Amino acid sequence: MKARVTVTLKAGVLDPQGQAIEGSLKGLGFPGVASVRQGKVFDLVLEGTDVEAARSQLTSMCEKLLANTVIENFAIEISN
Amino acid sequence: MKARVTVTLKAGVLDPQGQAIEGSLKGLGFPGVASVRQGKVFDLVLEGTDVEAARSQLTSMCEKLLANTVIENFAIEISN
């Protein structure tokens, strides 16, 4: 089973890396960029076929390792 | 207009960071993890309403700055 976990900064959390990218894009000639926020994506391959068990495991992985839930949100997508 | 750009390593490119995460997940008690690959996600807010123009600009941004197309793939999703 394949899963994608997307971790993004919560609204209101400063993102200096995103701001730097925004500045660079403007410098490269893309004036229409109003905002950039950077996040992380994890593509996992999991053994087993139980989607609900996988979702529960992935939530636990996010809470323990993949995301810092104080400042980050996570989203889980599972595809067979 | 909002857009999400997802940058992932091409197949065959080594991902030591993903391997480290895979090892950590196994150490934390998730034995069913067969593989982890890490990528990046950029959430952009763009001015303008022309979806095709935005897609063209985003492709150019990826080729120039957001992705290293030698080793990375990128995917663009646009939502109004």
* CA distance readout (Å), B22 to A3, B14, B30, B49: 14, 13, 9, 41
In this prediction, residue A80 carries a pLDDT of 75
**DSSP calls for A55-75:** HHHHHHHIIIII--TTTEEEE
Q: Which residue numbers in chain A have pLDDT < 50? A: none
Q: For B48, left (φ over 0), alpha (ψ -120 to 50), or beta?
A: left
In this prediction, residue B80 carries a pLDDT of 75
Give the number of other CB atoms < 10 A from CB of residue B15.
18
Structure ipTM: 0.93
Q: Report the residue of B6, B19, B25, B59 to disrupt the A interface, i.e. the one with the largest count of A CBs within 10 Å.
A: B25
Interatomic CA distance for residues A4 and A77, integer angstroms: 5
Q: Which domains does chain B have, with CATH numbers?
A: 2-79 (3.30.1280.10)
pLDDT tens digits for B8-41?
Answer: 999 999 999 999 999 999 999 999 999 999 999 9
- Average pLDDT of the residues of chain B: 97
Q: Outline where B1-80 has alpha helix (H).
A: 16-27, 51-61
Return the residue of B nearest to A22 by Cα.
B44
CB contact under 8 A, A46 and B61: no
**Chain A positions in Cβ-Cβ contact with residue B35 (cut-off 8 Å):** 44-45
Sheet containing A2-9, strands listed edge to edge, beginning at the edge strand earlier in sequence: A72-79, A2-9, A33-46, B33-46, B2-9, B72-79
- Average pLDDT of the residues of chain A: 97
Number of H helices, E strands in chain A: 2, 3
**Chain A positions in Cβ-Cβ contact with residue B37 (cut-off 8 Å):** 42-43
